[in-house]
Amino acid sequence: MQDKPLLSIRGLKKSFDTQDALRGLDLDVYKGEFLTLLGPSGCGKTTTLRIIAGLETPTEGKVYLEGVDITSFAPEKREVNTVFQNYALFPHMNVEKNIAYGLRMRRLDRKTIKQKVKEMLHLVQLEGYEKRMPSQLSGGQRQRVAIARSAVLEPKILLLDEPLGALDLQLRRQMQGELKRMQKQLGITFIYITHDQEEALNMSDRIALMRDGRFVQLASPYELYENPVSAFAASFIGETNLIEGTVSEINGDELLLDIGGKTVRAKNKDWVQEGQKLCLCIRAERLRYRRQDPGHNCLHGKLVATHYTGSDRTSILELSTGQTVISRHTTEQEEKVNQGETVCVWWDIDKATVVIDDREQAL
Amino acid sequence: MIEKNDKKQLLAIPMGLWAAAFVGLSLLYIIGLSLLTKGEGFSYSPPLTLDNYIKLREKQYISSLLLSLRLAFFTTLISAFVGYPFAYFISKASPKKRVWLLVMLIAPFWTNALIRIYGWKILFYANGPINTLLKSIGIIERPLKLLYTEGAVLIGMVYCMLPFFVLPVYSSVERIDWSMVEASRDLGASPLKAFITVTIPMTSAGIMAGLVLTFIPSVGLFFISDLLGGSNTMLWGNLIQNELLKSHDMPFAAALSVVLLIMTAIVLFIYRRQGGEAESMVY
Amino acid sequence: MKKNTPLSKLYITFTMLLLYLPILVVVLFSFNANTGRTASMSFTGFSTYWYKDLLSPVTGFGTQLKSSLEVALWSVFIAGVLAILGAIGMVRRKVGKSLASKITYKAIGAGEQLAMLPMMIPELIMGISLMALFRLFKLPFGKTTLILSHITFCVPYILVTVKSRLITLDPSLVEAARDLGASPFKAIITVTLPLVAPAILSGSLLAFAMSMDDFVISFFVSGAETTTLPLKIYSSVKVGVTPKVNAMCTVMLGFAFLMVGGGQLVSAYAERRKELS
């Protein structure tokens, strides 16, 4: 990462009639990175993208590209291109003409245009498809044309709005790899939108998790997974258990949590206060259970059900507090426990985090 | 300042200005004109007066108004009863046939109405085909007076207005969710009951549009009554025609037109009130 | 869905027959071999006598046809430009926050309503109002007033067809064009117009037919020198002249069928294209 960001957003707000879509966003995007805007439907990711592209104007706030304020620039004046969710290929033009469109608008000469289109078709592996019409292409092929059409203009930033949403699972997995490859090859900065957290974790250098028009956490996939900043962030990525508890004592690096009468130890965080209600976040694969009491960090629970999926087993347990937790473990590691039996649910202190409980409302 | 987004709608300004001038201004003018007094020849001038409207209370005008409304009403009614089954059956035909049926329905509509009325005139002549046919079969002895009667005008009007009813109804019928009708049959309704309680209500939007689209022009028609009815049928439109051609009385003709305008406005208002949409009237 | 019963098929056939009866009569009599005084009423045999000199300027309908065509072509062209711009401007328009924005929005909306009005009120009213207006501005009645009037009632037909196609057009297509570097103007020319072309064509065909067949409005705004075809037919029918009128009518009918057929082909083509956007 460099010192100067390629794109900066400051204080971005957008309201539609009665609805506040964006409530104040600040973001820096660096050259060459793959940044993903991740979040549930309606969180404002598409609106943000459209503002960067120039297809919407913000109610408040500024957008800077390489230090220049482009907030009021028309879309055709920005060196930023978009790959639309439904591809938006021009139905009355063939593949060649679609890809050439932007170059035509720049008034490049025919020879150059032909050359660049050829190179792009090679990059997206669609050589020979020049004269095909969009209606004759499959979903995956259309998608590649859409990317080619935008990428051929060598924009400073390529914006992609859930480009893989319409594809089936296998194709999606394949395209994820393709996109990553293309991004590295072209060296273009990608800002990517998806609501699929697996996709985000897989492809991104950094993820900006959004909710209700605000950024919740901006971090690398690893950081987001290991150290989620809140219960919402924790539950959005991966399978997580959020066990409610109250802070009973703080001892330097550690704290004591009261969970339904039982006391467990956890790692302290600087914002924690005594008496505070919070959630203990434990990933499903880090939660274990066994018959014998390990002596530390144990909660009693009853095995409700288990699902066998070949390599894994997912177990659902009901704690004595009434809360349900999930444990995922390989079949190799298991201890044969029967349904209905009471067991000890335990975990490694280092593998759990305390988080603010913001599940009901965005803070 | 106009936001960037709005700039596109400025493209509609030429059209708006044109309409303001040629539709808005002319309509306003005609309303104003109805309040002036007739002068020499075609001229007119102040003083402002309501005489033109007061004149309308004379017997001849009232009876003409009633006749026009009555004919328009019956035209609409008959068009509805003849047209609805027509639209219904077309929609049930096979897709290929449907296209052809619609083309055949619309094609005469695209030809000159005068031509078609002329055809009826020929048919209605005393020595024309209809009378000749009836005579030869022996149903009548002397030729029927078909031309220059109210009946002839009514037939002519229904003939011209029928497509106006059928088309909106057809587009409504085409969109029916037939599974609803089947459901009502499944619940025990006879075909007739199902038709009345399910099909017709589901097509009510089309029916309403059809009624309005048929009634409004019917009130203003004058050439049908001119050609098929002669001086026996003085419809409102014929009155206007006369005032202009014979009496050169612009203010009075304007007043007559304003009455027509008011009737149209009332019908449109009721239509809008009932939830009708202008767009659904176009096919 | 049940198919049609024989009874309903009979109904359709019968109604269609009635629909075409007067037309068939007109066409039949145009081939009347009877050249005498009763030619309009009694049919004696087949002949193409009445088709001779149909288009000659003096004895035929040549001048009127020429006038009608001139008026129709000019009217459709100008109405088309007004209506297409109008449609593009109106579909998916937004209103801003400022007062000026709101006023403009309402004003343009009113303009559109007025433009649509000729289609919704009796032609009689339009005819007389236009006539009064032209009188007021001392415009001589003739080709100009005809064209001005025809434009006025042609606009709604083209506006509606183009608008309904524009509404189904994917808005992201124009956004993509802008995103790729096209100015708003270029985007409309290279993306919107080509995709809307079939609707423009069918709307124009419809308007053309409306103009060629217009009687009521032309009746009020034409002058002594300029007579359109429908006006000439009207006067001929009123007086009760020769089957030459029938011949002209038959020819017009032929063209009308050609145009409807053409319109069908255009809309079938458009349907195929529509699937893509």
Q: Calculate mean pLDDT across residues C88-100.
A: 82
Whether C58 shows a pLDDT value over 70: the answer reads no
Q: What is the dihedral of CA A325, A330, A333, A339, to 10 degrees?
A: 50
Chain C: nearest CA to B150, how far in angstroms? Answer: 18
Q: In this structure, what token pair is assigned to residue A292? A: 């014998």
Q: What is the pLDDT of residue A332?
A: 66
Q: Calculate mean pLDDT across residues B196-224.
A: 84
- The three-point CA angle C254-C258-C262 to 5° equals 170
List the alpha helices (DSSP H) in chain C. Answer: 6-30, 62-90, 99-120, 123-136, 143-168, 171-179, 184-187, 193-213, 216-221, 229-239, 244-274
The Cα–Cα gap between B127 and C214 comes to 31
- The per-residue pLDDT of chain A, averaged, comes to 88
Which chain C residue has the Cα nearest residue B16?
A: C111
Q: What is the pLDDT of residue B250?
A: 80
Q: Tell me how far apart the 2 most distant CA atoms of chain B are, in Å.
A: 81
Q: Calculate mean pLDDT across residues B26-52.
A: 78
How many CB pairs below 8 Å do chains B and C form together? 286
Whether C103 shows a pLDDT value over 70: the answer reads yes
Q: What is the pLDDT of residue B2?
A: 37
Whether C87 shows a pLDDT value over 70: the answer reads yes
Contact criterion met (CB < 8 Å) for B127 and C42? yes
Which chain B residue has the Cα nearest residue C232?
A: B114
**CATH, domain B56-281, list 1.20.1070.10, 3.50.40.10, 1.10.10.10, 1.10.3720.10:** 1.10.3720.10
Percent of chain A at pLDDT > 90 equals 44
- The per-residue pLDDT of chain C, averaged, comes to 83
Q: Which pLDDT band, with edges at 50, 70 and 90, does B144 fall under?
A: low
Of A186, B275, A199, B26, the residue nearest C220 (C-alpha): B26
Q: What is the pLDDT of residue B142?
A: 62
Which chain B residue has the Cα nearest residue C82?
A: B15
Q: What is the pLDDT of residue A221?
A: 94
Percent of chain B at pLDDT > 70 equals 87
The Cα–Cα gap between B98 and B96 comes to 5
Please enumerate residues of A whose Cβ is less than 8 A from a Cβ of C.
53-55, 74-76, 81-82, 84-86, 88, 90-92, 101-102, 105-106, 133-135, 149-150, 153
pLDDT digits (tens, 9 = 90+) for A172-185: 888 898 889 889 88
Contact criterion met (CB < 8 Å) for C173 and A90? yes
Which subunits sit against A, judged by 3+ Cβ pairs under 8 A? B, C
Non-local CB neighbours of B60 within 8 Å, separated by 6+ positions: B234
What number does CATH give the domain A231-355?
2.40.50.100
Whether B127 shows a pLDDT value over 80: the answer reads no
Neighbours of C276 (CB within 10 A): 15
Interface probe, candidates C128, C135, C139, C163, chain B, greatest B C-beta count within 10 A? C128
pLDDT digits (tens, 9 = 90+) for A85-114: 999 999 999 999 999 999 999 999 999 999
C188 DSSP 8-state letter = I
Chain C: nearest CA to B3, how far in angstroms? Answer: 6
* CA distance from start to end of chain B: 38
Contact criterion met (CB < 8 Å) for A105 and C276? no
Chain A: nearest CA to C87, how far in angstroms? Answer: 21
Q: For chain A, give every domain's residue range.
A: 7-226, 231-355
Interface probe, candidates A85, A97, A101, chain C, greatest C C-beta count within 10 A? A101
Whether A346 shows a pLDDT value over 80: the answer reads yes
Of A75, A85, A92, the CB nearest to C179: A75
The Cα–Cα gap between B216 and B267 comes to 8
Chain C: nearest CA to B59, how far in angstroms? Answer: 23
Chain centroid, CA B62 distance in Å = 20
Percent of chain C at pLDDT > 70 equals 88
Which chain B residue has the Cα nearest residue A59?
A: B3
Range of A32-36, B137-141, B178-182 with top mean pLDDT:
A32-36
Q: Which pLDDT band, with edges at 50, 70 and 90, does C79 fall under?
A: very high
- The per-residue pLDDT of chain B, averaged, comes to 80
Is B212 in a helix, a strand, or coil? helix
The Cα–Cα gap between C208 and A121 comes to 46
Q: Calculate mean pLDDT across residues B142-150.
A: 70
Rg for chain C, CA atoms, rounded: 23
Q: Show which of residues 39-98 on chain A sit within 8 Å of chain B, judged by CB atoms.
A: 57, 74
The Cα–Cα gap between A305 and A318 comes to 10
Q: For chain C, give every domain's residue range.
A: 62-241
pLDDT digits (tens, 9 = 90+) for C183-240: 999 999 999 999 998 889 888 888 988 898 888 999 989 877 888 888 888 888 777 6
A236 DSSP 8-state letter = H
Is A281 in a helix, a strand, or coil? strand
Ranges A67-71, B66-70, C221-225: which has the least confidence: C221-225
List of chain A residues whose C-beta atoms are within 8 Å of the C-beta of residue C172: 84-86, 88
pLDDT digits (tens, 9 = 90+) for C22-51: 888 888 877 877 666 666 666 667 777 777
Which subunits sit against B, judged by 3+ Cβ pairs under 8 A? A, C
Q: What is the pLDDT of residue B21?
A: 93
A339 inside 8 A of chain B by CB? no
Q: What is the pLDDT of residue A162?
A: 92
Q: Which pLDDT band, with edges at 50, 70 and 90, does C274 fall under?
A: low
Q: What is the pLDDT of residue A114?
A: 93
Cis peptide before B47 (omega within 30 of 0): yes
The Cα–Cα gap between A267 and A262 comes to 17
Chain centroid, CA C10 distance in Å = 32
Interface probe, candidates C15, C135, C183, chain B, greatest B C-beta count within 10 A? C15
Percent of chain B at pLDDT > 90 equals 7
Ranges A247-251, B178-182, B196-200, C3-7: which has the least confidence: C3-7
Q: Calculate mean pLDDT across residues C126-143.
A: 89
Residues A162-177 as b or e (16 or more Cβ within 10 Å = b): bbbeebeeebbeebbe
A326 near A241, Cβ under 8 Å?
yes
ipTM: 0.83
β-pair partners for A315:
A306, A327
Chain centroid, CA B72 distance in Å = 7
Q: What is the pLDDT of residue C176?
A: 95
The Cα–Cα gap between C77 and C137 comes to 24
The Cα–Cα gap between A100 and C55 comes to 52
The Cα–Cα gap between C216 and C131 comes to 12
Which subunits sit against C, judged by 3+ Cβ pairs under 8 A? A, B
Q: Calculate mean pLDDT across residues C229-253.
A: 79
More confident residue, A361 or A126: A126
More confident residue, A6 or A295: A6
β-pair partners for A355:
A279
What number does CATH give the domain A7-226?
3.40.50.300
**A242 φ, ψ (degrees, to nearest 5):** -120, 105
A329 near A312, Cβ under 8 Å?
yes
Q: Which pLDDT band, with edges at 50, 70 and 90, does B1 fall under?
A: very low
The Cα–Cα gap between C29 and C43 comes to 7
The fourth-level CATH superfamily of domain C62-241 is MetI-like (1.10.3720.10)
List of chain B residues whose C-beta atoms are within 8 Å of the C-beta of residue A74: 4
Which chain A residue has the Cα nearest residue C195?
A: A92
List of chain C residues whose C-beta atoms are within 8 Å of the C-beta of residue A165: none
Q: In this structure, what token pair is assigned to residue A48? A: 């943000």
pLDDT digits (tens, 9 = 90+) for A215-261: 999 999 999 998 898 889 998 888 899 888 888 888 888 888 888 88
Q: What is the pLDDT of residue C1?
A: 44
Q: Calculate mean pLDDT across residues C71-98.
A: 90
**A167 φ, ψ (degrees, to nearest 5):** -95, 155
The Cα–Cα gap between A331 and A266 comes to 28
More confident residue, C92 or C78: C78
Q: What is the pLDDT of residue B33?
A: 84
Q: What is the pLDDT of residue B42?
A: 67
Whether B237 shows a pLDDT value over 50: the answer reads yes
Of B7, B24, B253, the CB nearest to C128: B253
β-pair partners for A306:
A315
The Cα–Cα gap between C158 and C215 comes to 19
Q: Is the pTM of this model over 0.90?
A: no
Q: In this structure, what token pair is assigned to residue A276? A: 């505070």
Whether B134 shows a pLDDT value over 80: the answer reads no
Of B10, B30, B219, the CB nearest to C128: B30
The Cα–Cα gap between A13 and A24 comes to 5
Q: Which pLDDT band, with edges at 50, 70 and 90, does B5 fall under?
A: low
The Cα–Cα gap between B252 and C177 comes to 57
Q: Which pLDDT band, with edges at 50, 70 and 90, does A313 fall under?
A: confident
